[in-house]
């Protein structure tokens, strides 16, 4: 009972208290005032590097052009490999969906030619193949050890709109051309975002070989080329009777790694995994520990190369049938 009375008295005292108002007015201020003139902005979003996905492969040769270059291996985030078709004086590359094309070509130049004359000649020839070809003013362009001229291109290629670039150089009395093109509906976006950077990367991978230092033929980089019946040397045939002469014309030009003369014996034909008939030849040369077998197909043709570990005394005397 006593505790209840004390509680009631304390409650009445609190109710009867009148607290005086403060004499001074208080203004609320922020806990932090930034310095005058200092403005804070959010960190900018990093701009993607357009060359991040452009990769180059192992260097290959164009023997007739006295040129080595690093081919494009991939050009975009898909990582899909770029296809390379290689000859003695030309190379063609395209991406997986065939919307980006690149080429490197070397051909004899005219008398007293220069890079500008090479470019004019190439453009004149292209007008027959690219309807509506339109070109920009020429501009200077450089590659390792080279200076030349280039122009922007547009028109129709493979029945689709095309946007691209063509560069020309004079190399050891030959016209060297490098072309890149985006081919699809509205190709400008693809060319500006990917194509032009891949083109510049390809230019940067060129290397001119000293006169006389280029091998006379292409050397394969695939270790199975010619050594596997599933990856034969494709010499083609004009008729059913010249297959053997074409294979042996190849073998008569082939040499060992140090230009050794080779000997060969024709073995029995056989089937490969694709049920294709391939011809086999046993090869020996001085210094070879044991004979090796090289395989040929006369039923299709691709630019012949020397197998890895071999070379040649001259360009293989075989033209596409």
* Local structure of residue 186 (DSSP, 8 states): S
Can you give the pLDDT at residue 214? 75
Comparison of pLDDT for 66 and 123, the residue scoring more = 123
Q: Which residues pair with 162 in a beta bridge?
A: 155, 183
pLDDT of residue 39: 59
3-state SS, residue 206? strand
Q: What is the pLDDT of residue 245?
A: 93
59 pLDDT above the threshold of 90: no
Closest to 175 in 3D by CA, of 120, 234, 130, 220 = 120
| pLDDT at residue 9 tops 60 | no
Which DSSP string corresponds to 239-301? STTSHHHHHHHHHHHEE-TTS--EEEEE---EE-TTS-EEEEEEEEETT-SS-EEEEEESSSB
Rounded to whole angstroms, the Cα distance separating 241 from 21 reads 119
If one counts every other C-beta atom within 10 angstroms of the C-beta of residue 137, the result is 6
- What is the pLDDT at residue 228? 96
pLDDT value at residue 1: 47
The closest of 155, 157, 123 to 137, measured between CA atoms, is: 123
Nearest to 306 by CA among 287, 292, 289: 292
**What secondary structure, in 3-state letters, does 128-146 show?**
CCCCCCEECCCEEEEECCE
How does DSSP classify residue 39? -
* Termini Cα distance of the chain: 123
Q: DSSP secondary-structure letter at 63?
A: G
Instruction: Name which of 312, 257, 309 is nearest 286 in CA terms.
Output: 257
Domains in the chain: boundaries:
55-208, 233-312
pLDDT at res. 25: 60
240 pLDDT higher than 80: no
Residue 26 or residue 3, greater confidence: 26
Instruction: Count CB atoms within 10 A of the CB of residue 316.
Output: 23
Residue bearing tokens 């690219």? 130
Q: What are phi and psi of 178, to 5 degrees?
A: -130, 125
- pLDDT of residue 8 exceeding 70, the answer is no
- Checking if the pLDDT of 16 tops 50, the result is no
* Confidence tier at 32 by pLDDT (50, 70, 90): low
Tokens 């689709």 -> residue:
160
Specify the DSSP class assigned to residue 193.
I
Res 30: pLDDT: 57
Instruction: Tell me what pLDDT residue 11 has.
Output: 39
Give tens-digit pLDDT for 260-286: 999 999 999 999 999 999 999 999 999
Which position has the token pair 């028109």? 155
Percent of the chain with pLDDT over 70: 85
The half-sphere exposure of 259 on its side-chain side, counting CA atoms within 13 A, is 4
| Predicted local distance difference test score (pLDDT) of residue 110 | 83
Q: pLDDT of 176-187, one tens digit each?
A: 999 999 999 999
CA distance readout (Å), 195 to 50, 68, 119: 10, 21, 20
Distance CA 312, CA 249 (A): 12
Q: Band of the pLDDT at 5, cuts 50, 70, 90? A: very low
Query: Among 16-30, 64-78, 112-126, 158-172, which is the least confidently predicted range?
Result: 16-30
Question: Residue 37's pLDDT is what?
Answer: 58
Separation in Å, CA 213 to CA 60, 66, 131, 147, 171: 14, 8, 40, 21, 14
Count of CB atoms situated within 10 Å of the CB of 206: 20
Mean pLDDT across the chain: 86
Mean pLDDT of the region 143-152: 95
Residue 12 CA: distances (Å) to CA of 7, 15, 19: 9, 5, 15
Q: Span 135-156, mean pLDDT?
A: 95
Per DSSP, the three-state class of 154 is strand
Rounded CA-CA distance 167/243 in Å is 40
pTM of the model: 0.69
CA distances from 208 to 170, 171, 203, 305 (A): 11, 8, 12, 20
Question: 55-208 maps to which CATH number?
Answer: 3.40.1000.10
């Amino acid at each position: 009972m006593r505790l209840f009375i004390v509680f009631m008295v304390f409650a009445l005292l609190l109710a009867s208290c009148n607290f005086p108002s403060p004499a001074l007015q208080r203004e609320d201020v922020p806990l932090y005032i930034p310095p005058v003139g200092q403005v804070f902005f959010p960190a900018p979003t990093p701009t993607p590097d357009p060359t991040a996905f452009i990769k180059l492969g192992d260097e290959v040769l164009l023997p007739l052009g006295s040129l080595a270059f690093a081919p494009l291996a991939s050009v975009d985030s898909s990582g899909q490999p770029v296809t390379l078709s290689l000859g003695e004086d030309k190379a063609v590359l395209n991406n997986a969906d065939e919307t980006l094309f690149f080429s490197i070509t070397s051909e004899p130049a005219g008398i007293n030619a220069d890079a500008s004359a090479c470019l004019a000649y190439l453009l004149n020839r292209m007008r027959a193949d690219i309807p509506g070809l339109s070109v920009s003013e020429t501009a200077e362009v450089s590659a390792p050890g080279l200076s030349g001229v280039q122009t922007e291109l547009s028109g129709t290629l493979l029945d689709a709109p095309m946007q691209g670039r063509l560069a020309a150089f004079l190399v050891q009395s030959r016209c060297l051309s490098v072309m890149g093109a985006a081919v699809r509906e509205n190709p400008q976006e693809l060319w500006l975002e990917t194509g032009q950077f891949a083109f510049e990367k390809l230019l940067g991978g060129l290397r001119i070989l000293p006169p006389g230092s280029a091998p006379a033929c292409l050397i394969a980089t695939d270790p199975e080329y010619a050594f596997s019946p599933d990856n034969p040397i494709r010499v083609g045939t004009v008729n059913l009777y010249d297959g053997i002469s074409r294979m042996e014309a190849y073998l008569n030009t082939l040499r060992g790694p140090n230009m050794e003369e080779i000997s060969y014996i024709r073995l029995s034909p056989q089937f490969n995994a694709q049920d294709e008939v391939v011809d086999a030849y046993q090869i020996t040369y001085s210094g070879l520990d044991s004979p090796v077998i090289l395989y040929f197909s006369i039923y299709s043709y691709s630019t012949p190369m020397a197998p890895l570990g071999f070379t040649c005394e001259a360009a293989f005397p075989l033209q596409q049938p």
